[in-house]
Structure 1
Amino acid sequence: MGLILFTGAALLVWSFVIEPDRVIVKEATINIPQWPQAFDHLRVVLISDLHVGSPHIDIEKLREIVATINQQQPDLILIAGDFVIQDVLGGHFVEPEPIAAELKNLRARDGVYAVLGNHDWWYDGNRVMLALNNAGIKILENDVARIERDDQSVWIAGLADLWTGKPNITGTLAKIPASAMVVALTHNPDLFPKLPTSV
């Protein structure tokens, strides 16, 4: 019985104290047919669900996350929403402006792009967008961005959140040439099966 109680207590400590405080970098290599040669070995950092203000993510932790991202020397940074969180047990609300002020320190040759998540819209999506835009982060809510190198390009298609927005797949992709290489960015992965296989 003592071993069961110890194991249960250890799991609780791991789940609520140790694991949420860790910053882990996971790397993956993705080979894409007909990928533009100018973008060979493109280093992309994808981050999502920062939820700054939750029990283990304050401004100091966000600063650590930004430093860890910059250490990866990314070419492109994609942020898939949920910058803020409110009314979380054990946390405290952090306004979008100080979050954006820290994210302004992100460095990537080809830029920093983002979409908003459900928590951003539940709070005030327009205020979150304004703060991020003022920090130099390009928001792609049903919008696109073209990244160019040596007369070749890759397009980023940002789609609005499935739960709180109105993702416009057809309208967004219509802004991109038909034969272009496209990387889609959205907060809720349940949207991905609805995308054309070419994206």
Structure 2
Amino acid sequence: MKRFANRQEAGRALAARLADHAWHEPIVLGLPRGGVPVAKEVATTLDAELDVVVARKIGAPGHPEYGVGAVTADSEPIYDPRVLKALNLTEEQLSHTCDREREEAARRTALYRGDRPFNLKDRDVILVDDGLATGVTARAALHWVAKHEPRSLTLAVPVAAKDSIGTFRTRVVAILIPKHFGAVSRWYDRFDQTTDDEVLKALE
């Protein structure tokens, strides 16, 4: 199965897949940080507005990289009940981690967006990330966007784990759906950390 050279190439491939649809006042929301370079390519091709929505992963105790849930700056956390059950965890046990990640989401939202109001009502919203593993951060972001009454909501990613796609009620568009997913980085030749400066530059 093919790989992407980098996030820009992945974004162009995704944009080509999305371009044949008639979008109504489209807005492309990148998930910072890695989803933003992908989202920029999509927004450019669709001639759409580009913005961000920040969702932060709530990691398992002792394993912060393993997401059991996610939260945005101003909405309730979304947890994966299967993972909570498997790890014998409760939402209460994760409340401090959740609060910390919510604060970080608020800080990053202010950094990237300032205090500009969101205008998503009655628009076609395309949420973009660089890949979909467990999908927990995307789910929190989608939950947040849905509260803003969009006309339609689409999750678009260059590569996705097959198991995760089936857990979404939202329409998911993915280029690669590998049988053996591994990790998002596995499907890119170059997968550098995206910086805050790169996000801000993309949003200019």
Q: Same fold (TM over 0.5)?
A: no
Bigger proportion of residues as strand: 2
Q: Which protein shows a greater Rg?
A: 1
Q: RCO greater where, 1 or 2, for CA within 8 Å and sep 6 or more?
A: 2
TM-score, normalised with respect to structure 1: 0.31
TM-score, normalised with respect to structure 2: 0.31
